[in-house]
Amino acid sequence: MAESKVLDTCADFLAEILNKKSASANSTYIPQFIEKFSQILNLTEMNLKVTVKPYGKNCLHCGKYIPSYHLSSAIGLWCKPNDHFFCSAHCLQRHSLISTNGTLLDLDYVRCPICRSSISPEQINEAFDGKLESYQRDACDRALLMLLDEEGKEKLKAKFTCLICYTEFKVDEGITLECDHRFCINCIKQQVEMLIESAQVSDEKLKCPMCPQALSVYEIEDIVGPELFAKYEKFRLRGIQLPPEDENSYIFHCRGADCEYICIIEKGVEEFNCPKCGFKCCPLCKDEIHKGSTCEEFAKLKKEKVIGDEEFEKLLRDEGLLKCPECGAAVQRISGCQYMVCSSSQCQGRTYFCYDCGIKLEQDHGAHDCKPREGPKNQPANVFMDDRMIPGVAYYHHPDDIEPQEIIPRPIFEPRNILERNHGPARRGRRARNFFRNLFRKG
């Protein structure tokens, strides 16, 4: 009797453990308890009959186990809602498609795999999110297309009437706008292209031909293509206007070559560096950057420089001076042959040229077809100057020297002090010597 009571107590305790949903098969005390219980059974030479009753269900399509606490989210069939389940709408969809050979037309073939009862069409429609009829129509169209020849297939395709030319087209030959108006490709493309070419790119102009809704940027790009769309963007940017109350900013158009970059710049900015083409300028006068001076002062200085350059070029022509063909430094020959070496800060003795014709040579005393230049050219002096008399460094050279013998600060050129004198052609050499001597003394 004592052994029987122990066995009953152990059996009740084991049943209680297994009935608990929170009990885990990996718990260490369960295997130990079963091992001890088995030893007691072996000692008493008794047999134990175990009945296992699952609390969950298996999916009728994929066989996946559905725990009892997930049965509320599963699909229970109306034939036996507590026993027959599909784990998801996807499984019921797959079962319906397989049962009807992919057509969903004859739902009588869609039955419960266990009791063979017909599954309700309402449940099938719910599994397809209420779109069962749409799937059935598509299946009918596919079946019909398979039976038709090519001519019949073309006739079956949907058509529409263009609202501009009133011609019938196939659906794939038209464009449907966001406002749901449909036009043939040629009509809407011609209209949009005409407006863009005439720079009429406002929302009031670029709109649907049948309603006031403006065309979106994406629709315009799809209609006209990338080349004309770039022109549309350019016209749109040019039409940008700042509000009247914004007095501290202005719109700036980059002047770089083939650059259409436009931006808004605050007043007071003295330097603009285009992020598209790299062009640098003053955003106010659109000229070179001139920090520290106003646009008016810079324009005046630039004008004076142009006048000075013109007078300097005239002086070079009158005195027979020659420019280095590489760096533009002014040169006069003091003696020797016509082969010259430029030792300016840019050439540094690497440029050879002929003093008579001005042609650049590949090497010193290189052979060439010399065609002497017109005008005076046998003037005294051998002075090399870099950067066209811009303030910098002047170099004095003897005919046989390559490296400069003396470096002095570059004077600022004032041509009018020389040009006001009029000594005549016979004294050009003396004028040139006095001109350069006076310049260097000012440094």
Query: What is the rounded distance in angstroms from the CA atom of residue 66 to the CA atom of residue 235?
Result: 64
Instruction: Determine the average pLDDT of the residues in 257-268.
Output: 77
User: Hey, which bits of 179-224 come out as E strands?
Assistant: 182-184
Q: Kindly state the tokens that stand for 161.
A: 């009437």
Element (H, E) at 263: strand 262-266
Query: Edge to edge, what strands does the sheet with 393-396 contain?
Result: 383-385, 393-396, 407-409
CB neighbour list of residue 52: distance below 8 Å, 6 or more residues apart: none
Residue-level pLDDT at 393: 33
Confidence of residue 353 (pLDDT cuts 50, 70, 90): confident
- Range with the poorest average pLDDT among 234-243, 268-277, 317-326: 234-243
Q: Kindly state the tokens that stand for 441.
A: 């003394």
Instruction: Determine the average pLDDT of the residues in 247-267.
Output: 77
Q: Kindly state the tokens that stand for 405.
A: 């013998």
Q: What are phi and psi of 419, to 5 degrees?
A: -70, -20
Q: Kindly state the tokens that stand for 200.
A: 């009429």
Do the beta carbons of residue 123 and residue 78 sit within 8 Å? yes
Residue among 404, 381, 402, 378 at smallest CA distance from 392: 404
Confidence of residue 376 (pLDDT cuts 50, 70, 90): low
Q: How much is the mean pLDDT over the chain?
A: 73
Instruction: Determine the average pLDDT of the residues in 93-99.
Output: 87
Hunting for tokens 């297994």 — which residue is that?
18
Residue among 340, 308, 305, 312 at smallest CA distance from 324: 340
Residue-level pLDDT at 187: 92
Q: Kindly state the tokens that stand for 48.
A: 């134990």
* Bridge partner list, 361: 352
Q: What percent of the chain has pLDDT over 90?
A: 2
Residue-level pLDDT at 67: 80
More confident of the two residues 121 and 411: 121
Does the pLDDT at position 374 exceed 60? Answer: yes
Residue-level pLDDT at 420: 37
Query: What is the rounded distance in angstroms from the CA atom of residue 209 to the CA atom of residue 228?
Result: 20
pLDDT tens, residue by residue, 137-163:
877 777 766 666 565 555 556 788 898
CB atoms within 10 A of CB 302: 13
Axis crossing angle, helix 217-224 with helix 226-238, rounded to the nearest 10: 140
Instruction: Determine the average pLDDT of the residues in 81-86.
Output: 86
Signed CA dihedral, 386, 391, 392, 398: sign only: positive
Query: What is the rounded distance in angstroms from the CA atom of residue 88 to the CA atom of residue 391?
Result: 88
Q: What single-letter amino acid sits at 416?
A: R
Instruction: Determine the average pLDDT of the residues in 357-377.
Output: 77
Residue among 414, 418, 419, 411 at smallest CA distance from 440: 411
Does the pLDDT at position 279 exceed 50? Answer: yes
Does the pLDDT at position 289 exceed 60? Answer: yes
Does the pLDDT at position 8 exceed 80? Answer: no
DSSP conformation letters of 18-70 = HH-TT--TT-SHHHHHHHHHHHHHHHHT---------SSEEBTTT--EE-GGG
Residue-level pLDDT at 406: 37
Residue-level pLDDT at 244: 65
**Cα 54 versus chain centre, distance:** 60
Residue-level pLDDT at 149: 59
